[in-house]
Structure 1
Amino acid sequence: MEPILITPLVLLAVVFVVYRQMKTRPTAKRGILYTAAAMIVAGIASGGAIDPRHLVLSISLVLVEAAIAVALGVWRATTVRVWLDDSGVSWSKATAWTMLVWLASIAIRVGLYFAGGALGLELSTGGILLFIGLTIGAQSYVIAQRGRALSSTARRPDTVVG
């Protein structure tokens, strides 16, 4: 995919995801995980994440980027407020800290993009899609797990399990 086409799509997807995170949402929804998976597949399918001229260096950078993407997603997930309502449904909503970590995530990704270029690697948009998909997926997964953990610990002692 051409960088001129992919850049606005990535920006639109990130803005949409951040906007939705700022709204109160049930943690059990899985739609964002499908979006993240689609971005990961598109990033891999579009190619260019691995530079065949610098195979070891580019694979190393992709692995570092993947680890950082997941770590940033987990970090952002810890800044999201997760709670149970009176009926036992878990909800989430991003905080101002989440927005700050999003800004840090974007700055780190831009830095990695230009670091690859400075190392002589061919710059690609496939790597950007892969990074965004991994980071969104990791964040969503951890938030869902936090919601499930709250729901399972919220069982009342007088509840009969059978």
Structure 2
Amino acid sequence: MNSSSIVIGLVIVALILRRQLRTRPVRDRATFIWIGVLTVLGILAVTFGVKSVTDHHSLSTVTYSALAASCAVAAAFGAVRARTVQVWRGPEGEPLRKGTAVTAVAWLASIAANLGMETWIDSTTGVGVLGFSTVYLYLAVGLGAQALLVRRRAAAVTVPAAV
């Protein structure tokens, strides 16, 4: 993992956290654009990561299991974060959302978990290049799960009665 990759990762996480902690419409298209971009980057990065490892070593079932487990952990953290987001209807009935301090802590825990997953993935290959390549896919899966669950919660919130 080189310093430019770390900087890019930190910038992406900072941007995500900034957006998470601001009041925004629930049906914000930018969220799904972000998820799409991260998914494409994730698939490309993992593909190149797998290729760079398989040029010298074969991947084991444990490696593939670790990759799948990483996606499951990302989805689980997305579900947890979705429960920490405040959801309400605005004055015009539009669904709004805003992350809390607990959301930020859940993000930090998620990042720590991802670092652990990356280390585990790399230990299964004997080469330290595949784990870090999963970061974009991890973010995409986690954000996707969170966004879908927040949308579901927003649909259940009733419009406040007129006074």
What is the DSSP-based 3-state SS (H/G/I as helix, E as strand, rest coil) of the residue aligned with 2:60?
A: helix
Q: Using the alignment, how far apart are the partners of 1:5 and 1:27 within structure 2? A: 33
> Is residue 66–residue 120 contact of structure 2 (8 Å, CA) maintained in 1?
no
The 5-angstrom pairing of residues 50-61 of structure 1 reads 51-52=53-54, 53-61=58-66
> Is residue 95–residue 154 contact of structure 2 (8 Å, CA) maintained in 1?
yes
> Is residue 78–residue 144 contact of structure 2 (8 Å, CA) maintained in 1?
yes
C-alpha change, 1:97 and 1:149, in structure 2 (3 Å) is same
C-alpha change, 1:154 and 1:49, in structure 2 (3 Å) is farther
Kindly state the Cα deviation for residue 155 of structure 1 after the two structures are TM-superposed. 9.0
The 5-angstrom pairing of residues 42-121 of structure 1 reads 42-46=41-45, 47-49=48-50, 51-52=53-54, 53-121=58-126
> Is residue 49–residue 58 contact of structure 1 (8 Å, CA) maintained in 2?
no
- Specify the code of the residue in structure 2 equivalent to 1:28: R
Q: Which runs of 5+ in 2 are unaligned?
A: none
- Specify the code of the residue in structure 2 equivalent to 1:35: W
> Is residue 25–residue 92 contact of structure 1 (8 Å, CA) maintained in 2?
yes
- Specify the code of the residue in structure 2 equivalent to 1:133: A
Runs of 4+ in 1 over 4 A off after TM superposition: none
> Is residue 37–residue 137 contact of structure 1 (8 Å, CA) maintained in 2?
no
Aligned CA RMSD, in angstroms, stands at 2.1
What is the aligned-residue identity percentage? 27
Q: Which residue of 2 aligns with 1:23?
A: 22
Q: Using the alignment, how far apart are the partners of 2:92 and 2:67 within structure 1? A: 44
Q: Using the alignment, how far apart are the partners of 2:50 and 2:136 within structure 1? A: 10
What is the DSSP-based 3-state SS (H/G/I as helix, E as strand, rest coil) of the residue aligned with 1:48?
A: helix
TM-score of the superposition, structure 2-length normalised? 0.83
The 5-angstrom pairing of residues 120-135 of structure 1 reads 120-122=125-127, 123-124=129-130, 125-135=132-142
What is the DSSP-based 3-state SS (H/G/I as helix, E as strand, rest coil) of the residue aligned with 1:92?
A: strand
- Specify the code of the residue in structure 2 equivalent to 1:139: Q
C-alpha change, 1:49 and 1:109, in structure 2 (3 Å) is farther
> Is residue 33–residue 141 contact of structure 1 (8 Å, CA) maintained in 2?
no
What is the DSSP-based 3-state SS (H/G/I as helix, E as strand, rest coil) of the residue aligned with 1:83?
A: strand
After superposing the two structures, state which structure 1 stretch, 132-141 or 90-99, moved more. Answer: 132-141
Kindly state the Cα deviation for residue 116 of structure 1 after the two structures are TM-superposed. 2.2
Q: Which runs of 5+ in 1 are unaligned?
A: 157-162
